[in-house]
Structure 1
Amino acid sequence: MAAVGTWSFSLPAVERMRCMILAGQSSTDVVESATADVENDVQTGRYIVGRGGFPNNKGIVECDAAIMEGVPGRFGAVAALRGVGQPCRVARQVMERSPHSFLVGEGAEAFAREQGFTIEPNNDMLSDHTATAYQFKPLSRTQKSKAVLYLLTGLIALDLAGNITVGVSTSGKPFKAPGRVGDSPLPGCGLYADHRVGAAAASGDGDKIMCYCPSFQIVQLMRQGMSPKEACCSVLADIRKRTGEDKCFEIGLIALNMKGEVGAASSVEFPYTFWNQGMDSVEKHVLSY
C-alpha cells in the first residue's frame, strides 16, 4: 500500500489517497478521485492544473489528463479538452467506455457530452489570477521564464489488492498555442504503469520531456532490479548527459514499485509527497538541485 504525488500542493490529495486505500478502495478510484479534487480546486489552478489553470494564447483553457493502470492495455487520455473542470474523469471514461485510448479537442468534448459531463463556459474555467495573467500575458511570459516552473499534478496509488494506477492532469504551458499537447497524457512520457513492476510520472517542460520517454524508462529500469530512486536518478543522469549539464530542462520524476518503495529525481527544486504502509501520515520531501 502506498501513494505518491508531485509538488507540495499534492499533500491533501495524497492524504485522501491514504484514507481511501486503507478503506479498501481500488487504486484507479483512488487516483481518479484525488486528481479530480485537485483539478476542480480553483486555487490549485495557478499550478497549471484544471479549473483556474492558465489559458492558451487565445484565452481558452485547454486541459490534458490521462490515467493508466498496471494491467496491460488499460489506458485512457484526453487532450486540448475545453470546458471540463475534472478532465481526469473524462480520461477514466475513455479507458472504460471508448474503443479508443486517446481523444483530443472537439472529439474529446463530444465524448464528454455523451458521457453526461457538462461543458462549461470558458469564463467558469478561469480564476481571477489566471484571467489577469492572460490580460498581461507578455509580462507573464517574462516572469514565468524567470521564476515559475512547469507544474502539473501526478499521482500514483498502490492498493490493498496489489493494483497500481498512475494519473496526471494539467492545463498545459501558459499561453500555449491552441491544440498544443505536452508530455503529460502521453503513455511512456508523462506516465507509465506495469502491474509486475510499478509506475512512474513526470512533471516539467513537456515539450522537452516527451522526447525522452522518461516514465517508461524508469519502469524498465525498475524491472531490471533498480529501486525507484535509483531508476529516477539514472534516467535524469542520462538526460543531463544528452542535453549537457548546463542545458538540462525542467523535469521532476516520481516512481513507486510494487513493494511500496518510492523514489524521485529532479533538475529543479522538487517537493513531492508520499505515504506507504507503516507510516502514520503523509510526508513531504524536497529535492534540491
Structure 2
Amino acid sequence: MTNRRNFLKTTALATAGVAFQAFNGKSEETEIDINSGKTNKPIVLSTWNFGLQANEAAWEVLKNKGRALDAVEAGVKIPEGDPNERSVGYGGRPDREGKVTLDACIMDEFSNIGSVACLEHIKHPISVARMVMEKTPHVMLVGEGALQFALSQGFKRENLLLEASEKEWKEWLKTSEYVPKANIENHDTIGMIALDVQGNLSGACTTSGMAFKMHGRVGDSPIIGAGLYVDNEIGAATATGHGEEVIRITGCHLVVELMRQGKSPQKACEEAVMRIVKLTQNRGKNLKDIQVGFIALNKKGEYGSYCVQGGFNYAVHDAAGNKLIDANYYLKT
C-alpha cells in the first residue's frame, strides 16, 4: 500500500470553479463569475490517496448520470473492502481488546441520513448506514443492535481481524502505549462528497477509527454534522483525522454554514481549521499532536481543503480527470 505521506507533489490546483495556489502559507483564490451559469458537474472529492481508486468507482455512477448518493456509496466501498487498507473496513486495525469496530454515515440531497457506530463483523458499514436511512425510523444504530439489524438485512457476518492486524495488536499489547501520531495510518477515514449531473449533492464517511482505541470509542465519522454534512442548497463537507477535535466544533456543519454565509469552500475549510487551532491552543495542547483535514464542495462544483499540518491529501475527479492534491495547511514549522 502506498504510504499516504508519500503523496504526489502538486504546486497548483485549477478547476472550472476555483483555483488555489499556495503562497507564503496562504491560499490565493480565483473564482468563476457566480453569474456565469457555469457549474463544474459531475464532480467527486474524497480524502487521502486511496480516494483515487474510490473516485473511479464513484465516477462510473456519475458519468452515467447516476445519483450522487449511489456514487458515494460505491466509492467508499472500495477502501472498505480492501484488506490492505488498514484504517477503513476490512483489514482495519482493532481496538485494544482486539475487536475491529467500524463507524460510517451517509447523507443524501433530501437530508435523509443513516449511521452506524461500533459495528463488528460487517465488511461494508456504509451500506448498513444506508439501510438504516432507508429502512428504519431511526438515523443511528450502534454496537450489537447495529449488527443484528445488518444481519436481518442479509449482510454476511465475517471475521474482520486479519492476520497482519492481529500481529500488530499483540505487539502493541506488550507496552499498551496509546499515543496516536498525526498522519500515521491509525486514525484515518475515507470521506467522499459528490455533485451529480442533476446538481444534487450527497456524501459518505467510513472508518475503523483509531487503532487500539478503547472498546466502544466512536469518533466523528458516523456523526452527521461532525464527520460529514450535506446541504443541497449550499454544499457539502467531510473530515478526517482526530475525530475528537472535529466533534468539538461540529466541523462539517460549520464548514457548510460558512459557505452559506458566502465563503468559498477553501475559505470555509480554513476558518474551521482555525477554530480547532484556537481551541487546541486555549486548552494548552500541542498542535503537532493532532491532525484534522476538511474537504468541501459547493453547488457550483467549486472545492477546497485545509488541514492543521502538512501530510493530508485528497482526490478530485471531474470531467478533466482524476488527480491527487496536497492540501494547504496551518502549521508550517
TM-score with structure 2 setting the length = 0.80
Q: What's the C-alpha RMSD, in Å, of the aligned pairs?
A: 1.8
Shift of 1:229: 0.5
| Ranges in structure 2 where 5+ consecutive residues have no aligned partner | 1-41
Counterpart AA for 1:145: K
Q: Does 1:145 find its partner at 2:181?
A: yes
Q: Match of 1:183?
A: 220
Q: Does 1:160 find its partner at 2:200?
A: no
TM-score with structure 1 setting the length = 0.92
1:142–1:103 CA distance, 2 compared to 1 (3 A): closer
| Ranges in structure 1 where 5+ consecutive residues have no aligned partner | none
Match for 1:256 among 292, 297, 303? Answer: 297
SS in 1 for 2:51: helix
Aligned partners of 1:166 and 1:180: how far apart in 2? 23
Shift of 1:137: 1.2
Shifted more, 95-104 versus 31-40: the winner is 31-40
1:208–1:237 CA distance, 2 compared to 1 (3 A): closer
Counterpart AA for 1:204: G
Aligned partners of 2:258 and 2:328: how far apart in 1? 23
Q: Give the 5 Å matches for 1:47-58.
A: 48-58=87-97
1:169–1:147 CA distance, 2 compared to 1 (3 A): closer
SS in 2 for 1:93: helix
1:140–1:153 CA distance, 2 compared to 1 (3 A): farther
Aligned partners of 1:217 and 1:146: how far apart in 2? 23
Counterpart AA for 1:57: R
The 8 Å contact of residues 133 and 140 in structure 1, kept in 2 or not, is answered as no
The 8 Å contact of residues 260 and 276 in structure 1, kept in 2 or not, is answered as no
More helix by share: 1
- Structure 1 stretches of at least 4 aligned residues deviating more than 3 Å after TM superposition: 138-147
Shifted more, 248-257 versus 96-105: the winner is 248-257
Q: Match of 1:99?
A: 137
1:192–1:143 CA distance, 2 compared to 1 (3 A): closer
Shift of 1:214: 0.9
Q: Match of 2:39?
A: none
Counterpart AA for 1:119: R
Aligned partners of 2:274 and 2:245: how far apart in 1? 15
Q: Match of 1:109?
A: 147
Shift of 1:192: 0.3
Residue deviations 1:251-271 (CA, integer Å, cap 9, x gap): 010011111111100013211
Q: Give the 5 Å matches for 1:9-158.
A: 9-44=50-85, 46=86, 48-72=87-111, 74-120=112-158, 124-138=159-173, 141=177, 144-145=180-181, 148-149=184-185, 150-158=187-195
Aligned partners of 1:191 and 1:264: how far apart in 2? 14
Aligned partners of 1:8 and 1:145: how far apart in 2? 18
Aligned partners of 2:271 and 2:180: how far apart in 1? 29
1:100–1:244 CA distance, 2 compared to 1 (3 A): same
Shift of 1:160: 1.1
Aligned partners of 2:131 and 2:104: how far apart in 1? 12
SS in 2 for 1:244: helix
Q: Match of 1:203?
A: 240
The 8 Å contact of residues 262 and 274 in structure 1, kept in 2 or not, is answered as no
Residue deviations 1:128-172 (CA, integer Å, cap 9, x gap): 321111111146857853761521110111111111111000111
The 8 Å contact of residues 183 and 291 in structure 2, kept in 1 or not, is answered as no
